[in-house]
Structure 1
Amino acid sequence: MQQGRMSFIFLLVLLCQCGVKAVVLTTCEGDTARLTCGLTSQVITCESDTASLHCDQGHIKVLSANYGRTNSATCSSGKPANQISNVQCTQSSSLSVLSSQCDGQKDCSISASNSVFGDPCVGTYKYLDVSYICIPSGATIKKQSSCEGSTISINCNNRFIKVVSANYGRTNRATCSTGRPANQISNVHCIQSSSLSVLAAQCNGKQACSVSTSNTVFGDPCVGTYKYLNVSYICHQNNQFITVSAANYGRTNSVTCSTGRPANQLSNVHCSQSSTLSVLNTQCNGKQDCSIPATNSVFGDPCVGTYKYLDVSYTCGPS
């Protein structure tokens, strides 16, 4: 079920990039809807299945990957508790394996199996979680570094910025080390996990941006260490943004999101929440990517006792 939803989301990304405007997304109650007009895709593949990465235009660049388990929900259907209880299962070589087989290709298929990745947690039912970007033809990944206390400036001229990776911290002793005492550059395991999201929020979709390389912007991941910001980005021509045209949180048929549900949770097919569209518009319009939980806490409960789903129609186009 999870694999099917992620594959559908991946399809949405391709549709936007290829210029197809209307997208329809259905998300079961309790899951998270992801609307995207960006260039980044995520694919989650259960153990023993095959992951398929595809770029209709351009080529694949894998950003992150893990073969293991970091939550108890993904790929859990029909599995006993002892096979999904270990949620700290990571395989550090996952990214290098994916990168070596998929980077630079338009299509790449790889088995989510112990024979490919090794077994990082024997007895646990694992899955492969991959995030990758489709780099448009003619675009290259550019890199910049900026020392703590200075400002990084990214300029794509008449194209648009897409940040691929970022870290504010320190992973070597050489960068931004001139005149610094040894105790300020000795910690080379300093990583700020929120760096990418912070920089993406300030730069993605713009033609130029300037960001202060400082603790006030990124937080301080290693007090006493003199840090720097490492950024990888591309300049691309696609600059599409979300516009939600229709949305309903409720139930209008007895088939959608019905697997395993009793009849009394599916019988009300006249369930609609009038405020759904305004909620989606507020949270998603004008963005390239938007995730929103399909839950009562977000939309309210229009029909108590009915198992609901979120139905969204949106377009990808210029802002």
Structure 2
Amino acid sequence: MMGPRSLVWLLLVVFAPPGFSDNLALLSGTLRTFQRAACDDQVIILKCPDSTSISVQVAQYGKSADALAALCPDPANPHRNVVNNTCFWPNALQTVVEACQKKRQCKFQTSPKTFGGDPCPGTRKYVEIAFKCGPNEFRSRVACENEVLQLKCNPNTRLAVYSASFGRTEYESFACPQPQGV
């Protein structure tokens, strides 16, 4: 029930372009997904803009017959046919999350040693990673009824209003000043 004074709640997310992740599923669904891939013995780098951090969405390490020939040709025999089998290491996502999650940037060598095992010994493999860059900070602002709420951004940043509500519930802990006699 609305009282004589009501609250306006805003949950704000401040982004530094070009990226934005991870605390809220709805927000995560609106953020750009970045993809990186690297072959065995290559370094892979994940990097987010200032004021954002990595949120790993997908990671796989191994090989797919279709992708391997195009992504990681064998330098010793570039015209060799790739054996038509697929194999992926089951703990690749956990490995990448432990190395990169919530960091602004990370890099690591793509190899069986990095991932703790070799899903298909004797063949070249690759890692594929999909990640988002999410805000490091969520801010909220409250204004009481008939108050003006001014929102400002720093230069070269963007403001996204994640949610806003008007009113209050019987469980609200924040109280606006009440008019005299109420």
Is the alpha carbon distance of 1:144 and 1:215 closer, same or farther for their aligned partners in structure 2, counting shifts above 3 Å? same
Q: Is 1:156 aligned to residue 48 of structure 2?
A: yes
What amino acid maps onto 1:226 in structure 2? R
Shift of residue 231 of structure 1? Answer: 0.7
Is the alpha carbon distance of 1:195 and 1:239 closer, same or farther for their aligned partners in structure 2, counting shifts above 3 Å? farther
**Structure 1 segment 55-74 matched on structure 2, within 5 A:** 55=25, 57-58=26-27
The whole-number CA distance in structure 1 between the counterparts of 2:94 and 2:23 is 13
Partner secondary structure for residue 97 of structure 2: helix
The sequence identity of aligned pairs, in percent, is 27
Query: Of 188, 192, 202, which aligns to 2:89?
Result: 192
What amino acid maps onto 1:211 in structure 2? F
Alpha-carbon deviations, 1:117-144, whole Å to 9, x = none?
xxxxxxxxxxxxxxxxx33x4x211111
Shift of residue 153 of structure 1? Answer: 0.8
Counterpart for residue 174 of structure 1: 70
What amino acid maps onto 1:147 in structure 2? C
The whole-number CA distance in structure 2 between the counterparts of 1:198 and 1:162 is 13
The whole-number CA distance in structure 2 between the counterparts of 1:239 and 1:193 is 32
Question: 5+ unaligned residues in a row in structure 1: which ranges?
Answer: 1-17, 20-37, 42-54, 59-133, 241-319
TM-score (norm 2): 0.55
Partner secondary structure for residue 94 of structure 2: helix
Counterpart for residue 227 of structure 1: 125
The whole-number CA distance in structure 1 between the counterparts of 2:33 and 2:99 is 18
Shift of residue 187 of structure 1? Answer: 4.6
Alpha-carbon deviations, 1:144-188, whole Å to 9, x = none?
1111011101110211001111111111232111525437x4254
Is the alpha carbon distance of 1:224 and 1:140 closer, same or farther for their aligned partners in structure 2, counting shifts above 3 Å? same
Is the alpha carbon distance of 1:223 and 1:40 closer, same or farther for their aligned partners in structure 2, counting shifts above 3 Å? farther
Partner secondary structure for residue 202 of structure 1: helix
CA contact (8 A) 1:149 1:212 kept: yes
RMSD: 2.5
Higher helix share: 1
CA contact (8 A) 1:170 1:187 kept: no
Partner secondary structure for residue 152 of structure 1: strand
Partner secondary structure for residue 233 of structure 1: strand
**Structure 1 segment 119-138 matched on structure 2, within 5 A:** 134-135=28-29, 137=30
CA contact (8 A) 1:160 1:239 kept: no
Alpha-carbon deviations, 1:253-278, whole Å to 9, x = none?
xxxxxxxxxxxxxxxxxxxxxxxxxx
Partner secondary structure for residue 191 of structure 1: strand
Higher relative contact order (CA 8 A, sep 6+): 2
Q: Is 1:142 aligned to residue 40 of structure 2?
A: no
Shift of residue 40 of structure 1? Answer: 7.5
TM-score (norm 1): 0.32
**Structure 1 segment 150-299 matched on structure 2, within 5 A:** 150-158=42-50, 159-171=52-64, 172=67, 173-181=69-77, 182=80, 185-218=82-115, 219-238=117-136
Q: Which has the larger radius of gyration?
A: 2
Counterpart for residue 22 of structure 2: 39
CA contact (8 A) 1:187 1:225 kept: no
The whole-number CA distance in structure 1 between the counterparts of 2:101 and 2:47 is 11
Partner secondary structure for residue 70 of structure 2: coil
The whole-number CA distance in structure 1 between the counterparts of 2:45 and 2:118 is 21
